[in-house]
């Protein structure tokens, strides 16, 4: 499922503040609905996903839907693969203004994503994600990052690094 409206509004507000020189990353983009919002103020948005649709019940159609959705929506690029492998592609760390984690919601996967993506966020940037309402996500954030992140509409979580 795409993320809830308060989380989308929060992301849109951060994208507006960050502006067109920013670099935002969505880890788990599915069909790109939230990526469109993240790209609305001109920042470069990187979408990471397996794009196989298996976890979402959309096998075979996820990637074409993503392409259709992001066409004309701004500066959006996609990377196909396992989320925790992608940060290794970057020689530099600490360059992203915001990383939004919304991929596999199991405790182990969220821990792995936070661990892999945290070094990519610049000092003063945002590490955030969806589904704080899920016990597995809450525990993963609290075990690896912070006990009391900012909570957005009961669903989103965010930390300014």
- The C-alpha atoms of residue 69 and residue 79 are separated, in whole angstroms, by 15
DSSP the chain: -PPPHHHHHHHHHHHHHH-TT-EEEEES-TTSHHHHHHTTTS-EEEEEE----GGGT-TTTHHHHHHHHHTTSSSEEEEES-GGGGGGG-SS-S-EEEEEE-S--SHHHHHHHHHHHGGGEEEEEEEEES-TTSHHHHHHHHHHT-SS-EEETTTEEEEE-
Residue with nearest beta carbon to ligand SAM: 28
Q: Report, in Å, the least distance between residue 98 CB and ligand SAM.
A: 13
Contact in structure between 74 and 105 (CB atoms under 8 Å): no
Q: Which is nearer to ligand SAM, 55 or 123 (CB)?
A: 55
| Closest CB to ligand SAM among residues 97, 104 | 104
Q: Give the nearer residue to ligand SAM in terms of CB position, either 21 or 73.
A: 73
Tell me how far, at minimum, the Cβ of 149 lies from ligand SAM, in Å.
18
Q: Which is nearer to ligand SAM, 66 or 148 (CB)?
A: 66
CB of 63 to ligand SAM, least distance (A): 10
Residues that bind ligand SAM in the complex, under the rule CB under 6 A: 1-3, 26, 28-30, 33-34, 48-50, 55-56, 82-83, 102-104, 109
Q: Which is nearer to ligand SAM, 5 or 142 (CB)?
A: 5
At its nearest, how many Å lie between ligand SAM and the CB of residue 109? 6
Q: Could you tell me the smallest distance in angstroms from the CB atom of residue 73 to ligand SAM? A: 13
């Amino acid at each position: 499922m795409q993320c809830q409206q308060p989380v989308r509004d929060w992301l849109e507000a951060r994208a507006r503040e960050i502006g067109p020189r920013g670099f935002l990353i969505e880890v788990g983009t599915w069909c790109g609905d939230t990526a469109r919002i993240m790209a609305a103020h001109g920042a470069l948005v990187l979408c990471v996903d397996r794009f196989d649709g298996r976890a979402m019940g959309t096998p075979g159609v996820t990637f074409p839907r993503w392409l259709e959705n992001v066409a004309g929506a701004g500066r959006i690029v996609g990377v196909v693969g396992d989320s925790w492998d992608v940060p290794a592609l970057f020689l530099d760390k600490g360059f992203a203004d915001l990383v939004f984690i919304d991929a596999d919601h199991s405790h182990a996967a969220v821990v792995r994503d936070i661990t892999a993506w945290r070094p990519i966020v610049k000092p003063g940037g945002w590490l955030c994600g969806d589904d704080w309402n899920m016990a597995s996500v809450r525990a993963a954030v609290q075990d690896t990052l912070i006990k009391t992140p900012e909570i957005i509409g009961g669903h989103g979580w965010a930390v300014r690094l």
